[in-house]
Amino acid sequence: MANSIVEINKDELNVWLKSNIIDKLAKNLDQPYENITWEVSSPENCFYLSSVVFLKVNIEGKKILNSDECQDKCIYLVMKRPGILMASQTLLPIASLFHNEILFYKFISHNNSEFPRCYYYSEDKNNLNNMVIVMENIGIKGYELCFKSYDIPFEYVISAMKTIGKFHAMSYAMKKHKPESFFKIIEDIEESRYFPGDDFSKYINLIALRPVEWLRKQNYDKVFVDSMENYMSNAFTNVMIDAITPIEPLATLCHGDFTRNNIFYHKTENKLESMLIDFAMLRYSSPAIDISTFLYLNCSNADRSQRFNEIFEAYHKSLIENLREEGIDDLEEYSYEKILKNYKRRAMYGFIIALFFLPILRGYTTFSLEDTVNFDYVKAARSTKKAGGDDLSKEFSEILLELRDNGCLHHVCDSL
């Protein structure tokens, strides 16, 4: 397997496109054509795990018989290829990330209008240069990222919750109606993030202690602090692995990276719609991992703590409505109480993600390509735990206490 990919210039990219993509892509355009031309552009000031380029494809249609008319059209696409981060196969298994997203478009989305249309994909784990996914650019339809990267407006939170509820309902319906094909897909999903014993797992265990250490400095309740220190010192296993382990009957297909960066919004005078993108971290797990990731990373502390019932009700209402639309009548196992209990047992998952990613979103620290390729988990953890200073440490400790007060730590306090 290739262990590195060098970024290519635009001329080289055009040659590669002509040799490898354009003819294959044309076969999926649903119309005869005389000629195809294309223009290439790149997103600016963005950090992606893959190399992303925008394509404007101009199609000169064949002339209609006995007429001077022809059907010309222009389509706007996004192309993803393995990028420079391929050099870091131990930290980021990019081949698996591409495999999972291709799996989603191949067997799950079926060009459903709820997701970006996929025009072409190619998977070749022996040569990462040949890995590619080409999909529609939904920005042309008016979809865009939320203008804030954290503490996003409440209406955006509600829209996101409705969308992930619909996504989970789609999975439950597949599981119910076509269990054999569904679990065949699940078995084909590759782990892309959590590997016991690797440097990332050690990093998680170190940064998870930040709120506990702050509480100890404040001479907070020793019994609670000791219990949480014991629990959080192995947060990778006790929180992350525990949360992603599928427990029936509520295990579902999860987006796996349900954050503001992977939700595009379309706002009109009457409503706010949202669409999911980037399914590389797809996994079969508790719905709580998606919900908690978004709430602790992108939702404001005030909205999450003071309006949690509204948020969770929006999710559950969407889930139930879409289950009914999918022909599922027996809804007892998806009751509000059962879904909420499932969430509380695993809500810590999103909090742990916030401990290492929220400092980046707020601009307290950075995460560069070099950091990814040459990952020193001790150095990275030390930097992460200091990012944002005492104010952020205090904020994280308050969130931990919020989790306790909301019943999300009963399984910890009762067992330690």
Q: Range with the lowest mean pLDDT among 73-77, 138-142, 344-348?
A: 73-77
pLDDT of residue 243: 98
**Looking at the predicted structure, is the pLDDT value of residue 171 above 90?**
yes
Residue 47 has pLDDT above 60, yes or no: no
- Written as six digits, the tokens of 403 are 């989790």
| Nearest by Cα to 343 from 312, 304, 307, 305 | 312
* The predicted structure's pLDDT at residue 416: 46
User: Tokens 């330690």 label which residue?
Assistant: 416
301, 370: one domain: yes
Query: How would residue 2 be classed by pLDDT, with cut points 50, 70 and 90?
Result: very low
Q: What SS3 class is residue 41?
A: strand
Strand partners, 52: 80
Identify the domain boundary among 102, 120, 139.
139
**Predicted confidence band of residue 68 (pLDDT cuts 50, 70, 90):** low
Whether the predicted pLDDT of 119 surpasses 60:
yes
pLDDT class of 398 with cuts at 50, 70, 90: very high
The CATH number assigned to the domain holding 275 equals: 3.90.1200
Which two tokens mark 351?
Answer: 């909090």
- Structural domain count of the chain: 2
Alpha-carbon distance of 335 to 346, in angstroms, equals 17
As a whole-number percent, the residues of the chain with pLDDT over 70 amount to 87
Task: For residue 2, tell me if it sits in a domain.
Answer: no
Residue 15 in domain: yes
**How confident is the model over 369-389, as pLDDT tens digits?**
566 667 788 999 999 999 999
Residue 20 covered by a domain? yes
Please tell me whether residues 393 and 314 are part of one structural domain: yes
Give the integer Cα–Cα distance in Å for 145 and 298. 12
Last residue of a domain, one of 139, 154, 185: 139
The winner for highest mean pLDDT among 4-13, 17-26, 239-248 is: 239-248
Q: What's the rounded mean pLDDT across residues 273-285? A: 97
What mean pLDDT comes out for the span 5-32? 72
Nearest to 245 by CA among 342, 384, 166, 137: 342
Say if residue 42 is in the same domain as residue 168.
no
CA distance 133 to 98: 8
The torsion of the CA quartet 234, 237, 238, 244, rounded to 10 degrees, works out to 150
Please tell me what DSSP assigns to residue 63: B
245 & 358 share domain = yes
Domain assignment present for residue 4? The answer is: no
Q: What is the DSSP string of 129-158?
A: GG-EEEEE-GGGGT-EE-S-SSS--HHHHH
Quote the percentage of the chain above a pLDDT of 90.
67
Question: Partners of 59 in the beta sheet?
Answer: 36, 73
- Cα–Cα distances (Å) from 188 to 123, 203, 260, in that order, read 14, 28, 27
Same structural domain for residues 135 and 152?
A: no
Helices (H), 1-85: 10-20, 22-26
User: Do 40 and 75 share a domain, yes or no?
Assistant: yes
Q: Is 34 exposed, middle or buried (0-12, 13-18, 19+ CB in 10 A)?
A: exposed
Range of the domain at 73: 10-139
Q: Can you tell me which residue has the tokens 């980037």?
A: 278
Q: What is the pLDDT of residues 318-336, one digit of tens each?
A: 999 999 999 999 999 999 9
In a domain, 173, yes or no: yes
The model carries a pTM of 0.91
State the average pLDDT over residues 278-302.
Answer: 98
Condensed to tens digits (0 to 9), the pLDDT of residues 50-67 reads: 678 888 888 876 655 555
Q: Give yes or no: residues 192 and 279 share one domain.
A: yes
pLDDT digit string (tens) for 217-273? 999 999 999 999 999 999 999 999 999 999 999 999 999 999 999 999 999 888 999
151 plus 41 within the same structural domain: no
- Whether residue 320 is contained in a domain is answered as yes
User: Would the pLDDT of 30 be above 80?
Assistant: no
Residues 108 and 220 both lie in one domain = no
Query: Looking at the chain, how many residues does it have?
Result: 416
- Name which of 286, 416, 405, 262 is nearest 346 in CA terms: 286
Residue 220: φ, ψ to 5°: -70, 165
CATH code where residue 26 lies: 3.30.200
Mean pLDDT, residues 111-134? 88
Tell me: do 68 and 207 sit in the same domain.
no
Give the other-Cβ count within 10 Å of 105's Cβ.
20
What's the rounded Cα separation, in Å, for the pair 122 and 124?
A: 7
Closest C-alpha to 256, from 319, 300, 192, 203: 192
**150 & 216 share domain:** yes
Question: Which residue has better confidence, 277 or 21?
Answer: 277
* DSSP 8-state secondary structure symbol assigned to residue 273: E
Nearest to 52 by CA among 90, 117, 98, 110: 98
Sign of the C-alpha dihedral, residues 220, 226, 227, 229?
Answer: positive
Picking from 93, 121, 139, the residue at the C-terminal end of a domain is 139
pLDDT of residue 130: 83
Residue 45 pLDDT exceeds 70: no
Alpha carbons 324 and 120: distance in angstroms, whole number: 32
b (16+ CB within 10 A) / e for 320-342: bebbeebebeeeeebeeeebbeb
Domain assignment present for residue 280? The answer is: yes
- Average pLDDT over the chain, rounded to an integer: 89
With beta carbons less than 8 A apart as the criterion, state whether 257 and 278 touch.
yes
169 in the same domain as 135 = no
pLDDT band of 89, cuts 50, 70, 90:
low
Residue 199 included in any domain:
yes
| DSSP letter, residue 57 | E
